[in-house]
């Protein structure tokens, strides 16, 4: 191809419209032809003006923010590396091996620090994850528990008994609800005194004319509130009494402590 033929292709090249087969040859010619390079520059300038043929439009302001945020981020990273570069360029050629060794040592130390920091971060993340998943498990259990209690309270055959505070705990109130069909029961308390160490409240189920049968033990929160589920013998519920006493933590076979809450016989 002659110079003239290449020249004819420059306009196509200026708008990147050369087919792949021509592009390589034109590039090759440009490398050795200053006149064509100059003409290409001019044609590219003219082509650039075509951008004005599209209507100018306003981008959203977020674009500017994103660009400048990114630039600042890169700048921070850049200043770290620029601290290392002068160290290398300052060294005389004879000192190169030393400078390299020092630079390598610095890089290695930086790497070690980085690894240590990441490792610690990783370890504390793991702990945090373990703690959170434990918390989640606990909350899920509570949630399931609460759902079960709600279902029970709302059951068609649910029967409710009020528990009144005894002389020992006059402010205490409680509710005992049981499902006559299944014997599932829920005890809810309010205003019970805090439980001393090693002790727990225990639910007693006292069928008419029988000795008390032990139920669940439970502890209360700061406001004396608790909700605990239990299972009662359905056939013996008629006329039974519910009582709550303070017992050793592991529970007693028959009541030993003072009565805190009890239902009146029904």
Partner 1 sequence: MSAISRGDEGALAALYDRYRLILFGLTLRILHDRQESEDILQETFLQVWRRAGDFDATRGRAFTWLVTIARSRALDRLRVLGSRARLADEVVAHSAVDDIGDAAKDAVKSEQGTIVRRALAELPEEQRRTLLLAYFEGLTQSEIAERLGDPLGTVKTRMRSGLIKLKELLRDSARGL
**Contacts to partner 1 by CB under 8 A:** 8-12, 14-19, 22, 41-60, 62-64, 66-68, 70-72, 74-75, 78
Closest to partner 1 by CB, 85 vs 104, is 85
Closest to partner 1 by CB, 79 vs 93, is 79
Q: How far is the CB of 77 from partner 1 (least distance, A)?
A: 12
Task: For Cα atoms 103, 109, 112, give the angle at the middle one, nearest 5 degrees.
Answer: 140
Cβ neighbours of residue 107 closer than 8 Å, sequence gap 6 or more: 84
Closest to partner 1 by CB, 63 vs 156, is 63
Q: How far is the CB of 74 from partner 1 (least distance, A)?
A: 7
Helix (H), strand (E), coil (C) string for 162-213? EEEECCCCCCCEEEEEEECCCCEEEEEEECCCCCCCCEEEEEEEECCCCCCE
Q: How far is the CB of 31 from partner 1 (least distance, A)?
A: 14
Task: Determine how many CB atoms are found less than 10 A away from the CB of residue 263.
Answer: 19
Residues 252-262 as b/e (b if ≥16 CB within 10 A, e otherwise) read beebebebbbb
Q: How far is the CB of 35 from partner 1 (least distance, A)?
A: 15
Closest to partner 1 by CB, 56 vs 156, is 56
Task: Determine how many CB atoms are found less than 10 A away from the CB of residue 187.
Answer: 25
Closest to partner 1 by CB, 15 vs 113, is 15
| Cβ-contact 246, 257 below 8 angstroms | yes
Q: How far is the CB of 114 from partner 1 (least distance, A)?
A: 24
Q: How far is the CB of 19 from partner 1 (least distance, A)?
A: 5
Closest to partner 1 by CB, 55 vs 94, is 55
Radius of gyration of the chain (CA): 42
């Amino acid at each position: 191809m002659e110079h003239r033929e290449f020249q004819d292709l420059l306009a196509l090249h200026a708008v990147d419209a050369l087919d792949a087969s021509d592009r390589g040859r034109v590039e090759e010619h440009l490398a050795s032809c200053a006149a064509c390079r100059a003409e290409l520059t001019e044609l590219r300038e003219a082509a650039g003006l075509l951008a004005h043929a599209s209507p100018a439009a306003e981008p959203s302001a977020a674009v500017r923010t994103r660009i400048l945020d990114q630039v600042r981020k890169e700048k921070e990273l850049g200043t770290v590396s620029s601290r290392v570069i002068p160290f290398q360029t300052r060294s005389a050629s004879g000192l190169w091996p030393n400078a390299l060794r020092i630079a390598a040592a610095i890089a290695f130390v930086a790497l070690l620090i980085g690894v240590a920091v990441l490792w610690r971060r990783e370890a504390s993340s793991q702990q945090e994850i373990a703690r959170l998943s434990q918390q989640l498990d606990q909350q899920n259990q509570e949630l399931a528990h609460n759902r079960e209690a709600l279902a029970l309270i709302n059951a068609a055959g649910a029967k409710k008994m009020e528990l009144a505070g005894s002389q020992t705990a006059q402010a205490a109130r409680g509710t005992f609800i049981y499902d006559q069909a299944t014997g599932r029961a829920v005890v809810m308390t309010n205003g019970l005194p805090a439980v001393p160490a090693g002790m727990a409240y225990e639910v007693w189920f006292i069928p008419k004319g029988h000795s008390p049968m032990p139920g669940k033990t439970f502890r209360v929160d700061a406001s004396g509130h608790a909700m605990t589920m239990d299972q009662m013998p359905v056939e013996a519920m008629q006329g039974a009494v519910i009582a709550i006493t303070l017992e050793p933590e592991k529970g007693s076979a028959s009541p030993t402590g003072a009565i805190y809450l009890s239902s009146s016989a029904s």
